[in-house]
A and B are shown apart, each in its own frame.
Chain A
């Protein structure tokens, strides 16, 4: 079975992907987070990365835009190696990307409007403010938040922050968008709005997306390909049907949101004490 996965992976590594990772390993100190990962992200497709919390999804996503540099291994963008560029060169490359951060990462000292125009002001000299107003209005209505221009991030809910952050990530019309848990913290209907938006951006503008998520509904809906990370390695890699029917128990447990048998045993064997029992055993202060 392991051999099968290897084959599947090997076929995934055609060097004509937009972003290609070759033998990428990332350690923080002694801690191994990504272990010899090779991956090719195809142009115009939506690749979804799933896996339990803390398995290194965010770390992997940040390597695709070299916000983190690999401990070993290479990152290529359009056949050009980018992990060894200096920061100035990288900043040129990064304008081709949009990145939606897990917590939104809005600048909290400036308004929603200023957040969205930030990438524009950094790379263009603005002469026509009318055009900018229209652009911000357009991006905000795409995420269903037109009218929030003058709000400050502190006044927004978690889901709203994330949607404003998405509007900011697409402000420069990037060709590649990396989403870190775009639907986490959103209600099911809002989640579906984001799913539709991701699909729309892909279909109409041919944008390449990489989406990190553990929302399987969203994954099945948007994915051309799903990759499951586990213990720093790629455990499964294929389309939605392939993943749904994947024989590996860890994959099945994850996609069905089931607890591990051993963990279940520990939970069931432990006695639960009711609050009144607790109080009776401990004298009150």
Chain B
């Protein structure tokens, strides 16, 4: 039983790897063919533009909650003016990107899986093939590209609102000096921190789109099959976001440690 499970798991992983490979090839090809730009553009509208409000709300709450929660800890040893560093570092480096990505996994991932899954069970994907078009090129590539390109921007929106939310609660609600708040923030948050958060967005976006499209393409028959595919897509996306976040944290730390000592020389 466990052996067959393990074999099935590996088989799925192998299939997923092949799907990702074909998606990457198709995406690269799409970038070079202007005929597919309208498709990418349409997906960017659906995926990106309509996600802005929800991502901004997520960011704002993250900033505000951090301010409320961290204030007491810092105030206990009289360091409440450093609140800005703590909030802004957390927002731009970790919580903004990860929570925005999770939000997107739910919003976009769910919609992508349901859409492609329905197309699969109503034979629309077979229909695309039967007319001599590659469904990976026609359906997957524009979605992956749209997600990959727009998630970093959405993360910037989340960061922005997180910073503003944190500022309002800290300065207006908790009465921290505005100048001190920004001075400490500016000295503590480097461009590097913001960049890491945004770069993560490319990986998160690509992972969400690839997983969701794959789950849609391999969806089982019926309404139940589509529902199940959506659930699996969200869970897989969520875990991948956390795993990627960990891997990238290790990777960027190594880079940072390598280049930090010579920074002074540059």
- A contact residues vs B (CB 8 Å cutoff): 62, 65, 67, 87-88, 90-95, 97-99, 101-103, 105-108, 118-119, 122-123, 168, 172
B134 to A65, Cβ gap below 8 A? no
Assess whether B122 is interfacial by the CB under 8 Å rule. yes
- Among B123-131, B158-166, B179-187, B256-264, which stretch is in contact with chain A? B123-131
The CA of A122 and the CA of B119, in the complex, are separated in Å by 18
Q: Contact at B132–A105, with CB atoms within 8 Å?
A: no
Q: Is the CB of A67 within 8 A of B126?
A: yes
Given contacts A91-B132, A94-B131, 18 further A-B contacts (CB under 8 A): A67-B129, A67-B130, A87-B129, A91-B129, A91-B134, A92-B132, A94-B129, A97-B130, A99-B130, A99-B131, A101-B130, A103-B123, A105-B124, A105-B126, A119-B131, A119-B132, A122-B133, A123-B132
Query: With A87-B134, A88-B134 given, is the CB distance from A107 to B127 under 8 Å?
Result: yes
Contact, CB under 8 Å: A107 / B130: no
B131 proximity list for chain A (CB < 8 A): 94-95, 99, 118-119, 122, 168, 172
Q: Are B132 and A101 in contact (CB under 8 A)?
A: no
Kindly list the 7 A-B residue pairs having the minimum CB-CB distance in the complex, ordered from nearest.
A99-B130, A105-B127, A95-B132, A119-B131, A105-B123, A94-B132, A91-B132
In this complex, the member of B119, B127, B133 whose beta carbon has the largest number of chain A beta carbons within 10 angstroms is B127
Residues on B with beta carbons closer than 8 Å to the beta carbon of A122: 131-133, 138
Do A91 and B126 touch across chains, with their CB atoms under 8 A apart? no
A93 to B133 Cα, complex, angstroms: 11
A103 to B122, CA, bound (A): 7
Interface centre among B122, B124, B132 (most CB of A within 10 A): B132
**Across-interface contacts of B129 in A (CB, < 8 A):** 67, 87, 90-91, 94
Q: Which of A91, A99, A106 contacts B133 (CB 8 A)?
A: A91
**Distance (Å) between the CB of B41 and the closest chain A CB?**
15
A102, B123: Cβ atoms under 8 Å? yes
Q: Which residue of B lies closest to A65 (CB)?
A: B130
Question: Which residues from A are CB-within-8-Å of B130?
Answer: 65, 67, 94, 97-99, 101
User: Can you list 6 A-B pairs, Cβ within 8 angstroms, ordered by A?
Assistant: A94-B130, A97-B130, A103-B122, A106-B127, A122-B132, A168-B131
User: In the complex, which residues 28-66 of chain B have their Cβ closer than 8 Å to any Cβ of chain A?
Assistant: none
Nearest Cβ in chain A — how far from B121, in angstroms? 10
Residue in A102, A105, A119 with the greatest tally of chain B CB atoms within 10 Å: A105
Chain B 81-111 interface mask (CB, 8 Å, partner A; 1/0):
0000000000000000000000000000000
- Considering only CB atoms, which chain B residue lies closest to A123 in the complex? B132
Q: Which residues of B contact A108 (CB under 8 A)?
A: 122, 124
CA distance A108 to B119 in the complex (A): 9
Measured CA separation A172–B127 after assembly (Å): 14
Q: Which residue of B lies closest to A99 (CB)?
A: B130
Measured between beta carbons, the chain A residues less than 8 angstroms from B126 are 62, 67, 99, 101, 105
Q: How far is the CB of A112 from chain B (nearest CB, A)?
A: 14
